Amino acid sequence: MMPEPENCPGVQTPNAGLASACQGCPNQKICSDPNKKLEDPGKALVAAALKNVRNKFLILSGKGGVGKSTITMLLARYLSKKYNENNFGVLDIDICGPSQPRLLGVEGENVHQSGSGWSPVSVDDNVCLMSIGFLLGSPDDAIIWRGPKKNGMIRQFLSEVDWGTLDLLLLDTPPGTSDEHLSVVSYLRENEGEQSLNAIIVTTPQEVALLDVRKEINFCKKQQIPIIGVIENMSSFRCGYCGKSSEIFPAKTGGAKAMCEEMHVPYLGSLPLDPELAKLCDQGEDITTLKSDTVDALDQICQHFATFF
């Protein structure tokens, strides 16, 4: 199938092969055939660009504000130190709210383009990052895009970034199950053979967050994406003065662990809220040297990923 023309109505739309823009297109007969199973030609480009990426983790959350981007950064930082002979990449596909450049301490860096595509920004010797945040004139610029333009950007990130050889690519997604999720899944999910795309779901303990996480789990099951497990973030807070622990978000229904048992998905563990770690994240500093209960809990969670390396 030839590349789509500029005014293509879309190969999966009712007007495919019938619109005025389709006249003279070499794909017209293919698109207008109701018995022909169509596949976005971009999928082959993505497969070629990511052929040397062994594993891909979608970091998902049903509700916004549960710390999904922070968890993505924590996993990238900790895994890259724990497995320092492996290579890691982070792709920020939260198009309207890119936060990885700040969290990973590379805000203001420039993306360079070469004959092999965009070069992701180096964070560490074995960690690189690509985000639309690098392409904005100012961090305060608003991105006011509809779904098709977001999807086009995601396709560019997947097919035109020179990731090289990676053992793991972490994809930081926006909350919910919207255009961005459908787009990235359609490009990365293998139709046959071993699946390299997996999902990690982030939540907080309260029921208002768990309600949306259940939807996220069902999204993964319908899309046939294996779920590695659920991480419960901000499970408790330990006061730096009195030493007592408090539940900021009380788990009235048993929290993420009870929900995982109910929905038959793995529970990876919980991370307590740590003000010192939050401060380092906001400054883009490396958190792996911090002595904290949260970092200790992160180490326990990261042991679940040993089989991927």
DSSP string computed for 185-211 = HHHHS-SSSS--EEEEEEE-SSHHHHH
Give the whole-angstrom CA distance, residue 100 versus residue 121.
11
Instruction: Please state, in angstroms and rounded to a whole number, the distance separating the CA atoms of residues 189 and 202.
Output: 21
- Residue 173 pLDDT exceeds 60: yes
Whether residue 220 is annotated as binding a ligand: the answer is no
242 in a known ligand binding site: yes
> Does 281 count as an annotated binding residue?
no
168 vs 58, 69, 171, 305, 308, CA distance in Å?
11, 16, 10, 10, 8
Is 68 annotated in a binding site? The answer is: yes
The 10s digit of each residue's pLDDT in 188-229 is: 987 665 678 999 999 999 999 999 999 999 999 999 999 999
Mean pLDDT, rounded, for 71-83? 95
41-306 belongs to which CATH class? alpha beta
Give the list of residues 6+ apart from residue 72 with CB closer than 8 angstroms, or none. 59, 90, 100, 103, 170, 172
Predicted local confidence at residue 1, as pLDDT: 46
- pTM as predicted: 0.85
pLDDT of residue 58: 97
Q: For residue 302, say whether it is annotated as part of any ligand binding site.
A: no
Please check if 96 is assigned to a binding site: no
Distance in angstroms (rounded) separating the CA atoms of residues 14 and 44: 23
Does the annotation list 8 as a binding residue?
A: yes
Residue 309: pLDDT band with limits 50, 70, 90: confident
Between CA 169 and CA 166 the distance in angstroms is 7
The response to whether 81 counts as a known ligand-binding position is: no
Q: Is 66 annotated as a binding residue?
A: yes
| 22 assigned ligand-binding residue | yes
Question: What would the pLDDT profile of 264-277 be if each residue is shown by its tens digit?
Answer: 999 999 999 988 88
**CATH 3.40.50.300 residue ranges for the chain:** 41-306
